[in-house]
Amino acid sequence: MQTIALEGRGDFSEWRDAARALAAAGVSPGETDWRIASPDGELFGAGALPGSPPLEKTARPLTVPPAFLPLAETVVCHTEPSRFHLLYTLLWRLQSDRFLLELDADKDVALARRLAKNVNRDSHKMTAFVRFKEMAGAIGGRRRFFAWFEPSHFVVARTAPFFRRRFADMDWIIATPNGTASWDGDNLLFDNRPGENPGHGDPTDDLWRTYYTSIFNPARLKVKAMQAEMPKKYWRNLPEADLIPGMIANAEASVRAMAEQAAKDPPTFHYRVRQTSNASPRGEPPPVQTIEALREEARGCTRCPLHCMATQTVFGEGPTSTPMMMVGEQPGDHEDLAGRPFVGPAGKIFETVLEEAGVARDAVYLTNAVKHFKYQPRGKRRIHERPNRGEIDHCRWWLAKEVELVKPRLVVALGATAFYALSGERKRLDQVRGEVIATQSDTMLYPTIHPSYLLRLPDEAERRRQRALFVEDIRHAWQLAADLEARQQGGGAP
């Protein structure tokens, strides 16, 4: 009997190396005893040897159908102690029956598929239930986040790339009892040792509670499905979990209230919003004199229904002493989560254009026409939707205040939505691009394309051409803003 001791924390290669050696030496599954080594290197069981045994090479090279590898890589992440033996049995049998994996009724195949399904489900739960909490002290301008999660299996390494894609622009650590993953903007690292839960809360907990309260639809309440989807151990670590019993208890009354509201025509909320579209939320000028105070006020904006679905208000950023303001359309998926404008794919391309045009991102004030992310949920994805005229009109109040407080010499409208928000005119962008347009205030308006236009162009040559024109536009706008500022400083007529 060959005893093989593996660490067994979801690392496929340790099983593969041992299995190859055993199969090459012609050791049948019945002659193998697979064990899990304890963290200090001792075995859970007496008399076994750590590591794979030294074996003679006697047999022919191994072959497996392509479907075996992904199946084995997944099954290895399960916590079921017999998984290594099961996989070795499959590997052994596949040498004489290449089509074994197509026999769904075979008991080894069925078991492997069931284990793989459990692992995939656990991975999916991790993508849904990880909740980041902000850690004090950004490093190099990057915010840092921590999450504690308790998976059932060893899924941290295989699921971490999802979080790298989704949260590329922040540093994060996901600690679990089954290992830790971390991302610093360049490297995705794993540590197989059990992590620790510091168990602290932070202000993002409130954000999650607000988000959960806004998306909770009492009319679609299915308690059994919720319990199946979100077992207790996930609840423990969810900031919004303590709201759930109250929401369930109030669901019936909320549905009645919703039904009553739906019968009103027009809905009171919309009517009130329309009435106040050019005034503050309370119908009076807010007492704000600084951009910081305005940002603070915008945090709680409920002027249009977009706030219900968005994670947070994404307000403008940058110096208030700048001669140039740049206005995009609305935050996207990344911006909504990060709370900053232009940090997603359009933001990345925009930064390269700014750099090429010789404009430092932090030398301009950067904002959007609409401050909340508008999207359609589609499965796990949130598909960007253009804001409509009413939404832009409601949000114009904030934009106008930003222009008033920053007092830029030139405002660059990035795309047609920004142009409409700033001028009130619905025009195709190619009719106005590159024009310098006087406004009623001291500020000039300069329309150009939105950076995401470049991402949508299918033709490579056209994309390069449009990008070069965009760089030229930005360079020109910056020069213009500087000239206008110099003229103003010198007291000359604009």
| Sites of contact with ligand URA (CB under 6 A) | 328-332, 335, 341-342, 344, 346-347, 368, 450, 452
Q: Which is nearer to ligand URA, 294 or 314 (CB)?
A: 314
- The enclosing H or E element of 32 equals strand 32-36
Least Å distance between CB 131 and ligand URA? 24
Specify the residue, 313 or 368, whose C-beta has the smaller distance to ligand URA: 368
Q: Is the preceding omega at residue 266 within 30 degrees of 0, hence cis?
A: yes
Strands 444-448 and 437-438: antiparallel
| 77 versus 454: smaller Cβ distance to ligand URA | 454
CA pair distance 281, 293, nearest whole angstrom: 15
Closer to ligand URA at the Cβ: 345 or 390? Answer: 345
Sign for the pseudo-dihedral over CA of 41, 44, 47, 49: negative
The tokens describing 166, both together, are 């989704």
CB 92, min distance to ligand URA, A: 54
Residue type, 441: S
Q: How far is the CB of 49 from ligand URA (least distance, A)?
A: 58
Q: Report how far apart, in Å, the C-alpha atoms of 313 and of each of 19, 204, 290 are.
A: 54, 14, 17
Distance, C-alpha 433 to centroid of its chain: 33
Q: Give, as one character, the DSSP assignment of residue 8.
A: -
Residues 440 and 56: their CA atoms lie apart, in Å, by 87
**Cβ-closest residue to ligand URA?**
328
Nearer to ligand URA, 310 or 484 (CB): 310
CB of 248 to ligand URA, least distance (A): 37
Q: What distance in Å separates the CA atoms of residue 45 and residue 338, rounded to the nearest whole number?
A: 49
Closer to ligand URA by Cβ: residue 10 or 341: 341
| Residue showing tokens 């110099």 | 486
Residue type, 244: I
Instruction: State the nearest-atom distance from the C-beta of 98 to ligand URA, in Å.
Output: 50
> Is residue 58 within 8 Å of 25, Cβ to Cβ?
yes
Contacts of 190 (CB under 8 A, 6+ apart): 156, 157, 160, 179, 180, 181
State the minimum distance, in angstroms, from the CB of residue 346 to ligand URA: 4
Q: How many CB atoms lie within 10 A of CB 490?
A: 7
Smallest gap from residue 291 Cβ to ligand URA (A): 17
Taking the C-alpha atoms of residue 306 and residue 299, their distance in angstroms, rounded to an integer, is: 13
Nearer to ligand URA by Cβ, of 7 and 317: the residue is 317
Residue nearer to ligand URA on the CB measure, 10 or 447: 447
Nearest approach, Cβ of 245 to ligand URA (angstroms)?
37
Amino acid at 377: P
Name which of 197 and 466 has its Cβ closer to ligand URA. 466
Residue closer to ligand URA, measured from CB, 157 or 413: 413
Residues 6 or more apart in contact with residue 240 via CB below 8 angstroms: 208, 209, 211, 212, 213
Q: Which is nearer to ligand URA, 101 or 416 (CB)?
A: 416
- Please name every residue paired with 377 in a beta bridge, in sequence order, or none if there are none: 382
**In the bound complex, what is the minimum distance in angstroms from residue 257's beta carbon to ligand URA?**
35
DSSP string, 371-410: -S--EEEETTEEEE----HHHHHHHHHHHHHHHHHH--SE
Alpha carbon distances (Å) from 329 to 11, 68, 143, 362, 456: 45, 47, 24, 19, 15
Closest approach, Cβ 433 to ligand URA, in A, equals 16
Of 429, 433, 445, the C-alpha closest to 480 is: 445
**Minimum CB distance to ligand URA, residue 148 (Å):** 30
Identity of the residue, 342 or 375, whose beta carbon is nearer to ligand URA in the bound complex: 342
Tokens of 156: 């941290």
The least distance separating ligand URA from the CB of residue 308, rounded to whole angstroms, comes to: 20
